[in-house]
Amino acid sequence: MLPVIALVGRPNVGKSTLFNRLTRTRDALVADLPGLTRDRKYGEGRLGDQSYLVIDTGGISGDEAGIDQVMARQSLMAIEEADIVFFLVDGRAGLNPADEMIADHLRRSAKPCHLVVNKTDGIDPDTAMADFYGFGLGNPKPIAAAHGRGVLSLIEEVLAPF
């Protein structure tokens, strides 16, 4: 069985960009598996020596109030289905109340979770990450999904136990 990575986070942090980056390398198989909601997109990918499945989630509206809206059902389902969660935040936008709610949920979840700070291209990664240490989700991991920076080392580090 391939390890399954769920990408969660509020809209516009770069989940789909990372999904495409993670799945395009070999098979670029971006397909909905039968019987699963169209709210989630499933893809297979390979980077370095690691093969995996990725779940992209969408449709979380940051405009709505409360954890139930922020962590829309499809995101909660994706977390259930996954072995590993990548919680994406926007390193340019800094902290956001919706991020705090998602962090809250993930801290209580038993799933291994990695806090991924995206969009660190052209900015100082240390400054971008500084806001996010307080989440209590371990050391933030800087990437730039749009350019691929940090993505291979993230996968190698996180999937090493699998």
Instruction: State in angstroms the smallest separation of the CB of 21 from Mg ion.
Output: 13
List 40, 41, 114, 119, residue binding ligand GDP (CB under 6 A)? 119
Q: Which amino acid is at 14?
A: G
- Residue 156 β-bridge partners: none
Distance CA 86, CA 55 (A): 10
Nearest alpha-carbon partner for 139 in 119, 125, 151: 125
Distance CA 91, CA 127 (A): 9
Residue 10 annotated as part of some ligand binding site: yes
Residue 121 annotated as part of some ligand binding site: yes
Which 3-state string (H, E, C) describes 101-147?
HHHHHHHHCCCCEEEEEECCCCCCHHHHHHCCHHHCCCCCEECECCC
Among Mg ion, ligand GDP, none, partner that 99 touches (CB below 5 to 8 angstroms by kind) = none
Q: Does 102 bind ligand GDP (CB under 6 A)?
A: no
Nearer to ligand GDP, 12 or 109 (CB): 12
Residue 120 annotated as part of some ligand binding site: yes
List 39, 58, 100, 162, residue binding Mg ion (CB under 5 A)? 58
Q: Does 145 bind ligand GDP (CB under 6 A)?
A: yes
Q: Does 69 bind ligand GDP (CB under 6 A)?
A: no
User: Which residue is associated with the tokens 């971006």?
Assistant: 30
Tell me the number of residues near ligand GDP by CB under 6 A: 15
**Residues at the site binding ligand GDP, with contacts judged by CB under 6 A:** 9, 11-17, 118-119, 121, 144-147
- Residues flagged as binding site for GTP: 9-16, 56-60, 118-121
